[in-house]
Amino acid sequence: MTEVRAKRLQLEEFTASVMRALGLPLEDAATVAALMVDADMQGSDGHGVIRLAPYAKRILAGGINLNPDIKVIQERTAMALVDGDNGMGHLVMKKATELAIHKARTAGIAWVGSRLSNHAGPASLYARMALQHDMIGLYFAVGNANHLPPWGGLDMLLSTNPIAAAIPTLNEAPVVLDMATTVAAYGKVKAKAQRGEMMPEGWMIDRQGKPLLDPTKSEEGFLLPIGGYKGYGLSLIVGILAGTLNGAAMGSQVIDFNKDFSTTTNTGQAIAIMDPSAFGDITEFKQNIDTLVRELRSSERMPGVDRIWLPGEQSHEKRLSNEAQGILLAPSLMKQLNDLAAQLNIKPLTVQIQT
Amino acid sequence: MTEVRAKRLQLEEFTASVMRALGLPLEDAATVAALMVDADMQGSDGHGVIRLAPYAKRILAGGINLNPDIKVIQERTAMALVDGDNGMGHLVMKKATELAIHKARTAGIAWVGSRLSNHAGPASLYARMALQHDMIGLYFAVGNANHLPPWGGLDMLLSTNPIAAAIPTLNEAPVVLDMATTVAAYGKVKAKAQRGEMMPEGWMIDRQGKPLLDPTKSEEGFLLPIGGYKGYGLSLIVGILAGTLNGAAMGSQVIDFNKDFSTTTNTGQAIAIMDPSAFGDITEFKQNIDTLVRELRSSERMPGVDRIWLPGEQSHEKRLSNEAQGILLAPSLMKQLNDLAAQLNIKPLTVQIQT
């Protein structure tokens, strides 16, 4: 079988050239490209370059401010509120995270929220930025499409509102959790539909509350929250912290970014950074996490279970293998990227082909 | 049927008298009693006066320091680490929460962790303390008994590690989430066993991964995390933030407080307080939460659903009805409380009996 793989740098350069062609300034195009490809590197491929086409569609529809004035509009010692001025979400949340890291260094913990932001890729991208500073990152976001009603309800007023957490380690892979508060993310439903597969019970229900298994009928039902009413509560709290608190969209204000490409989404996100060295010796902390990781991994296993995984371990391995072998690009994605290149009149992506 | 109900003040006075008889100083006994009865007031009866007997057992076994020196051992502008000196958890976490509220007033957000603490009642008790200051409270704790293995594993290295969040409102009941990261809390399993009922599928599994329905066989199986591997990740992150980060017990270090009454538990908890007035106008924020609450409540409903509840709404109504009618005490609980009173040679609880 023919496999098409792109090296990280190559994919970054292509992505940046698309962003420049769409009108982003040079530096911003490079920043967005690096973060988008970083999503692919860790296997979050639903949030990587697969989003180039919908981002382009939004930019061309006038739905994104290409020269935003991203600025702090509220600030205290350990918090800030960033107004993204409807710029690309990656630019807004990178700036917010850098500010939170800076503040956490003296305050011990810092929280930075955003309003007038946009989709910024996988939640773990920003939580992980803490790791190179030996800090802990927590990230919360309001999802960009509502697919979840309140528990017992039919009106889709909530989204998959994700949570991410990144914990530094000494020798082990960092512990990185990145999860939607629904059993399945909506992207997984769309992937099932594309592959012509049925969904497992527990992902979605229909308007009578019965299991919905056919992903092509997903518009007739809703995602299920994790743990039933608990996940509903969790999605609501994440939405309040990342949305309402920041003056960003929440509930019926959320714009479905798959259907409406021109209205300002007023997306809200939040990053919290904690400095473990404020609590005690940093090396001891990282050693203790290593010990905990090994203890969990060494647990006796259920019949048929080959290995116990820690959160983030699989994406860490994916990152290493992608670094070595390049990022696998499906033929449909290659076509999508090069159709976009042709439309924008830029050089196509030429990649290594392995057989 | 005969119902036994106690007024809040009456139950507080009795609880304080038990704590004094056990050796707690006057003021500490009153503080613990008020928090324990507050748990019953909001319907968290698994964490209220039902715990008096096990607390007494631990104190009498020398497992609690009756005169702890609860002190801040690490501090930055927006964080602190409190050493509870093995005192009652309620004293440790009340002090931690008050400190976090104080710090959040200037820093915008503050995080206070504890080590050498003990079981402190329901998670929402401390998150709710933020509300009277128009602030947001988030609470995380390491549970006091491990009933959850890592995903795919058999060794019980994790606990129900709960999360609570409290959000202030203007005219609506506050939004208060209080949830274990497992589908069911272990107390619910014990309650099913007491009532001779089977558990629903999804609460527990056995060592082969098959559903475990008989609660009297709970020792042969494990609790299931919410959303499968997601809840495992969530329980781990909560445990790291509330335990490992604070130098408190986590993983195999956790003492099962139902089986071991004398070993220091080194319980870890954490409270985060956020001041919404740092983000913008506080009244506007509370109005926006009211609007969101009403929007969710007004959602069209599934067939057979009478009402859509917001997190915390049921415990808010319970609090109001308990304030008016007194707290319902089951005959078995009354007997337990008065057996304890007899053992400690103090006045029994005499309550109003309604028929």
Give yes or no for a contact between A7 and A326, defined as CB atoms under 8 angstroms apart.
yes
B314 to chain A, closest Cα gap in Å = 13
On whether both A148 and A13 belong to a single domain, the answer is: no
**Interface residue of B74, B75, B77 to substitute, partner A, most A CBs within 10 Å:** B77
What predicted TM-score, i.e. pTM, was given to this entire model?
0.97
The answer to whether the Cβ–Cβ distance between A165 and B237 falls below 8 Å is yes
Q: Is A219 exposed, middle or buried (0-12, 13-18, 19+ CB in 10 A)?
A: exposed
On whether residue B203 sits in a domain, the answer given is no
Please choose, from the candidates A156, A241, A165, A168, the residue with its C-alpha nearest in 3D space to the C-alpha of residue A204. Answer: A156
Closest-CA residue in chain A for B206?
A: A302
Q: Which of A280, A298, A316 is a domain's end point?
A: A298
Q: What is the DSSP letter of B351?
A: -
Domain extent, residue A32, equals 1-60+325-355
Contact B285 A245 (CB under 8 A): yes
Q: Is there a domain that residue B343 lies in?
A: yes
Residue A198 lies in a domain: no
Over chain A, what is the mean pLDDT? 96
Name every chain B residue with its beta carbon within 8 A of the beta carbon of A304: 209
Largest CA distance in chain A: 57
Note the ipTM here: 0.97
The string of pLDDT tens digits covering residues B186-232 is: 878 888 888 889 999 999 999 888 999 999 999 899 999 999 999 99
User: pLDDT tens-digit profile of B64-118?
Assistant: 999 999 999 999 999 999 999 999 999 999 999 999 999 999 999 999 999 999 9
Which CATH number does the domain housing residue A287 bear?
A: 3.30.1370.60
Asked if the structure places residue A189 within a domain, the reply is no
Domain-embedded: residue A11: yes
Instruction: Give the closest-approach CA distance of A25 to chain B in angstroms.
Output: 30
Determine which of B203, B296, B313 to mutate to test the interface with A (most A C-beta atoms within 10 Å): B296
Asked if residue B107 and residue B148 are part of one domain, the reply reads yes
B158 & B233 share domain: yes
Same domain (yes/no): A40, A138: no
Q: Which of A257, A281, A298 is the last residue of a domain?
A: A298
Q: Is B253 contained in some domain?
A: yes
Q: Which of B244, B292, B305 sits opposite A292 (nearest CB)?
A: B244
My answer on whether B137 and B233 are in the same domain is yes
* Domain co-membership, A86 together with A141: yes
Residue to substitute from A147, A178, A245, interface B, most B β-carbons within 10 A? A245
> pLDDT tens, A292-351?
999 999 999 999 999 999 999 999 999 999 999 999 999 999 999 999 999 999 999 987
Q: Is the pLDDT of residue B143 over 70?
A: yes
Same domain, A148 and A242: yes
Structure tokens at B213: 């329905």
Question: Mean pLDDT, to the nearest integer, of B316-338?
Answer: 95
Q: Which residues of A69-105 are buried (b: 16+ CB within 10 A; e: fewer)?
A: ebeeebebbbbbbbbbbbbbbbbbbbbbbebbbebbb
Mark yes or no for CB contact A149/B280 under 8 Å: no
Pairwise CB contact (< 8 Å): A106 & B76: yes
B225: distance to nearest CA of chain A, Å? 8
Mean pLDDT of B285-308: 97
Contact A241 B76 (CB under 8 A): no
Rounded CA separation A250/A223 (Å): 17
Q: Which residue of A has its CA nearest to B273?
A: A111
Q: Predicted confidence band at B1 (pLDDT cuts at 50, 70, 90)?
A: low
Q: How far is CA A40 from CA A174, A305, A312, A320, in A?
A: 18, 27, 14, 12
Query: Same structural domain for residues B268 and B167?
Result: yes
Let me know if residue A201 belongs to a domain: no
CA-nearest residue to B175 within chain A is A237
Task: Count up the domains in chain B and report the number.
Answer: 2
Tell me which of A282, A298, A314 is where a domain ends: A298
Residue A342's CATH number: 1.10.1530.10
Q: Which of B78, B111, B230 has its CB closest to that of A226?
A: B230
B137 and B238 within one domain:
yes
Residues of B in contact with A158 (CB under 8 A): 296
How far away is chain B from the Cα of A261, in angstroms, using its nearest Cα? 25
Is A245 in contact with B136 (Cβ distance < 8 A)? yes
Q: Is the same domain home to A243 and A94?
A: yes
The continuous run of DSSP H or E covering A21 comes out as helix A8-21
pLDDT band at A185 (very low <50, low <70, confident <90, very high): confident
- Contact yes or no for B81 and A300 at CB 8 A: no
Identify whether residues B26 and B78 lie together within a single domain.
no
The answer to whether residue B317 is domain-embedded is no
Give the per-residue pLDDT at A344. Answer: 97
**Token output for A13:** 């350069």
Residues B83, B30 share a domain: no
Q: How far is it, in rounded angstroms, from Cα B107 to Cα A355?
A: 58
| Rounded-to-integer distance, Cα B263 and Cα B260, Å | 6
